[in-house]
Structure 1
Amino acid sequence: MQTTPGTRPSFFTSPTFWLILLNMGAWVYLGMNGVDWMSPSPADLTAWGGNLGPYTLTGDWTRLVTSMFLHGGALHLGLNMFMLSQIGPLSEAVWGRTRFALLYLLSGLFGGLASAWWYAGVAVRNTSYELVPSAMGFTPHFATTVSIGASGALLGASGALLVHALCAGTAAKIELKVIFQVVVLNIGMGFLMTGTDNAAHVGGALAGIAIGALLMLPGRVLRIGTAVQSAVVFAVSLGVLVVLVRQPPSDQVSRIAHILRASEVLAAQRDAARAVNPERP
């Protein structure tokens, strides 16, 4: 982005500002539509686009996008937006506004995909069968997890800054130890704390590190301009993402997704029947 010498870019053109606004707007919108402000249920988050692995991997790819802007209540949102308010301006100063926005979004998508793979695998491994009154006598019980939040994208932006700090040395716009602590502490705490989607953390961080490393390749090696280099890096990253998301899921994951969707339809039909006849069980 070109600016007139001596002027500062408008705050309202900052992707950090718009990303914070979108995240907060999504939280307010869901709250106004009956979703709990402090502790939304997994069912509500799934209904509004949360990243439920079996759904995401069986064609519902928009969940990779929508889940980045959903949060598990006011505290979760506040912590992530505080981190974004710190990481965003630094990233904009290092990469420029357009490259930061693309890096953030791509890292979030890769982190979401890693989360979908991981938790779909958990659902497959932990599937059990419980004896209940039904036509078949058994109904499957799945350990499903819905993933939400901006953490994968934030760890991706942090990972890219870590690469910048390593490569730029004394010219870096952020201290290496500071950004190293951000990445390591967030991932490390994910292994120690329950309820943390560390698959998205690790996936987003690795994506950000890879993209940052490609952006830091010196022009004299590639013999191309910065703009062309950036366009190629992001085009290749998007191509890799498309190839990965188009991989067919396993039969077990497809079966779990089919049963979960059928269960949602039955639950909706029961709710509709109760609304018409409240005395009906």
Structure 2
Amino acid sequence: MPITLLLIGMNVIVFLLTTLTGMDIWWGNGEQLLHWGANYWPLTMHSQYWRLLTSMFLHAGLWHLFTNMLGLFIVGMFLEPVLRRYRFVITYLLTGILADYASIWYHKSAVGVGASGAIFGLYGVFLALLTTSLFRPSARKTLLVSISLFVALNFVAALFAVGIDNAAHLTGFLSGIVAGYILFFTLTKADGARLPG
């Protein structure tokens, strides 16, 4: 899973750079995050469109980074061997950009950062593929229950937590489901056989 590890490495390096230049390691800082490329409607939608991408590699604190990278590691372990490098990274970036756009459209006065929209996109892809005939039935049933439970618990927890970007999570997840069904037609049984476990 080289792309998964590369993405985790990039997120960690960017986080270390932000903290070394004065960012609070636990909470982050909106003004500093804007300087690094955070997502913010008045800036992003007035010619600074690149923020839709750069904000995916920024995190507001160590716990934010850790939970996102753990989620990315888990889904990448299963999904990257199946999709392989190009499909995996393109899906990650596209669902992440869509999630980031939904985030600032819904929260026009908030500063947005984090990889969670893209990560939820990958979980959406995985869940969609688990409902197809791509994988062997024995693996499909167990993983479908596990992934559904994981996603459901995350959405329930988000309802009671402060500062969780539900717009980004939901958009990433739904766009991932659509992408998963599209990707199904580009995959073969040999791809499905690469599912670990």
The normalised TM-score by structure 1 is 0.62
CA distance in 2, matches of 1:203, 1:61: 18
Task: Pick from 103, 109, 113 the counterpart of residue 148 of structure 1.
Answer: 113
Give the gaps of 5 or more residues in structure 1: 1-10, 121-143, 218-224, 228-281
CA 1:180–1:72 in 2, change beyond 3 Å: closer, same or farther? same
CA distance in 2, matches of 1:48, 1:60: 12
**For 1:109-124, what aligned pairs fall within 5 Å after superposition?**
109-120=97-108
CA distance in 1, matches of 2:14, 2:22: 13
CA RMSD of aligned residues (A): 1.8
User: Which amino acid letter does the alignment assign opposite residue 71 of structure 2?
Assistant: M
Larger radius of gyration between Structure 1 and Structure 2: 1
User: Which amino acid letter does the alignment assign opposite residue 31 of structure 2?
Assistant: A
2:165 corresponds to which residue?
197
User: Higher RCO, 1 or 2 (CA under 8 Å, sep at least 6)?
Assistant: 2
CA distance in 2, matches of 1:179, 1:190: 17
1:37 corresponds to which residue?
25
The normalised TM-score by structure 2 is 0.87
2:181 corresponds to which residue?
213
**For 1:1-281, what aligned pairs fall within 5 Å after superposition?**
14-120=2-108, 144-168=109-133, 170=137, 172=139, 175-217=143-185
User: Which amino acid letter does the alignment assign opposite residue 198 of structure 1?
Assistant: N
Higher strand share: 1
Q: What is the total number of aligned residue pairs between the two structures?
A: 185
Identity in percent = 36
Give the gaps of 5 or more residues in structure 2: 189-197
Secondary structure, aligned partner of 1:60: coil
Deviation of 1:172 (Å): 5.0
Post-superposition CA distance 1:80-135 (Å, at most 9, x none): 11111111111112212221111111111110011011012xxxxxxxxxxxxxxx
Secondary structure, aligned partner of 2:107: helix
User: Which amino acid letter does the alignment assign opposite residue 119 of structure 2?
Assistant: L
CA 1:92–1:171 in 2, change beyond 3 Å: closer, same or farther? farther
